[in-house]
Amino acid sequence: MSLDITLREVQSVKVFEGNITHNLNEMLSQVGEIYYKAVWRPEELGLVHAWQLIQYLSGAVTELKRNPEAYKEFNPANGWGDYDNLVGFLEDYLEACHSHPTAYIHANR
C-alpha dist (Å) from residue 77 to 3, 31, 33, 82: 19, 19, 21, 9
Tell me what pLDDT residue 8 has: 87
Residues in the chain, total? 109
Instruction: For residue 71, name the pLDDT band (cuts at 50, 70, 90).
Output: very high
Tell me what pLDDT residue 12 has: 76
Q: What range defines the domain where residue 39 resides?
A: 2-108
What does the pLDDT average to over 99-103?
A: 96
Please give the Cα distance from 85 to 64 (Å, whole number). Answer: 12
Question: For the CA atoms of the chain, what is the radius of gyration?
Answer: 13
Helix (H, G, I), strand (E, B) or coil at 21: strand
What does the pLDDT average to over 65-94?
A: 97
Please give the Cα distance from 42 to 44 (Å, whole number). Answer: 5
Closest by Cα among 46, 36, 39 to 74: 36
Number of domains in the chain: 1
Closest by Cα among 55, 18, 19, 62 to 34: 55
Tell me what pLDDT residue 88 has: 98
pLDDT in tens, 24-62: 999 999 999 999 999 999 999 999 999 999 999 999 999
Tell me what pLDDT residue 11 has: 61
pLDDT(106) > 80? yes
Closest by Cα among 92, 87, 97 to 49: 97
